[in-house]
Amino acid sequence: MVPSKPPKPELISYNKTVAEILNIDLKWIESDEGIECFTGSKILKSSNPLSMVYAGHQFGNWVPRLGDGRAVLLGEVMDLQNERWDIQLKGSGVTPFSRNGDGKAALGPILREYLLSHGMYNLGIPTTLALTIATTGENIRRESLLPGAIISRVAKSHIRVGTFQYFASQGKYELVKKLSDYVIHRHFPKIISNKHKYFIFFKSVIKKQALLIAKWMSVGFIHGVMNTDNCSIIGDTIDYGPCAFIDIFSKDTVFSSIDTFGRYSYKNQPLIGQWNLVQLANCLLPLFSENKEKSIQMAQEEIDRFPKIYEEYWFHEMKKKLGLQLIMKQDIELIKELHSIMESDQLDFTITFSSLIFICQNKKNSLLEFNNSSKKFNNWILKWKSRLAKEKKSKMEIYKNLEICNPYIIPRNHLVEEAINFANKNDFSKFLKLFNLLSHPYSFNEENHTYYIPPDKIDKNFKTFCGT
């Protein structure tokens, strides 16, 4: 599988943090060979490009054959910690799985993935990463003619639940076993010698998915297209298509233009995570036990535990955001009451939490005005402060804990769209500014006030599209 050669590739940006992780020389990335490599113009001798096949449930509907429709895996590299990473090009042309598409990508969706994955990484959320973005020197037709672009995506794995489904759906369980062995060897080496390794592997995936979704929920992130083919087997956020962040909090929020019935709404993400794990369990059943009924029972018991596992992770994430470490009975009600107030009084998700540090310190700040009109929130603050007083921590420790758990800046929809609109006119200043701020989401600077707040008028009809 050889990627298409773009007519006039131009490097737009590269992520120094990702380059350092992979121990790739920055000067080489900027060199002619580096640019050619990360745009598909040149295949290095050690590279054996391929596109991966998988199946999946898309919005609950079974599709027996999917795959990388616009992506080519160049190969693997080892980082300084001896960990293995995949490097993949997206937008690099037709593959065997393009399904009558052109395999190309417009600049907008490429910038979205670059910004969102960078933001998620700096928020401490498991994610794929992006190393480079480049324009291709050609226009591609979508709703209109748009600049073409290519992103080089970096991941510890591109294997999905849908990868297992592809082989299991054909009854090729020897290949399911082989795939499981590969994933265990690469990502779960501590269980290789365990006689129940396949079942332990499944339990490990459950925990990773529960933790990932809990972290999404804690920052108001909506993936938007949680199909099984977009569900990473190692619990990383993958495939930044119609994803977005909530401004005004509502549990029913949906941004994806194709999610007509809200299947992947904010509130449904834990439920869908569990549903996806059921599909994985169906693939792995023959590996759990020779007795089919026993395998089903084993799987069902673990699936039934998912809500509790998720709740524990979510509770832990939310307690951190409120500066709470001691375990007290009233904490869960305190958290749920806050979410209820946020929704009923239409409070901004991110500002509600980022303002707590200033409220705790009794400091005036421009962020506070967004919640000042909410009497319910102000009454809740009194309960929260009373609960904080019971923590066996100094005020400075509490302030620090609040500050490192509540970001001031996220990739807000209007900021990302603004960056894309300017970039489509060959002006990358907005994009670079936002990228740099997302590198330090927990740092506050009054000069960047406009990046911390929602737009003056929120477009309730705003939709995102599955462009990458």
Annotated catalytic sites, by residue?
229
Residue (of 13, 3, 15, 464) closest to 240 by Cα position: 464
Which distant-in-sequence residues (6+ apart) come within 8 Å of 286 by Cβ? 173, 176, 292, 295
Tokens of 403: 């500050």
Q: In terms of DSSP H, where are the helices of 26-124?
A: 26-30, 32-37, 107-122
Residue (of 143, 113, 348) closest to 225 by Cα position: 113
Amino acid code (one letter) for 393: K
> Tokens 């005020």 map to which residue?
395
For 75, list phi and psi in degrees, rounded to 5: 155, -160
Distance of CA 267 to the CA centre of its chain: 16
For 67, list phi and psi in degrees, rounded to 5: 145, 180
> What is the length of the chain?
468
CA–CA distance, 308 with 358 (Å, rounded to integer): 33
* Secondary structure class of 466 (helix, strand, coil): coil
The partner residues of 232 in beta bridges, in order of sequence, read 160
DSSP string, 93-105: ---TT-TTS--B-
CA–CA distance, 256 with 466 (Å, rounded to integer): 8
- Residue pair 97/214 in contact (Cβ under 8 Å)? The answer is no
For 217, list phi and psi in degrees, rounded to 5: -65, -30
In angstroms, what CA-CA distances link 398 with 164, 303, 315, 365, 409? Answer: 45, 36, 18, 18, 20
CA–CA distance, 140 with 20 (Å, rounded to integer): 33
The partner residues of 428 in beta bridges, in order of sequence, read none
Residue (of 252, 280, 411, 417) closest to 346 by Cα position: 252
Buried b (16+ CB within 10 A) or exposed e, 282-298: ebbbbbbbeeeeebeeb
The partner residues of 160 in beta bridges, in order of sequence, read 232
Tokens of 17: 């943090």
- Residue pair 103/69 in contact (Cβ under 8 Å)? The answer is yes
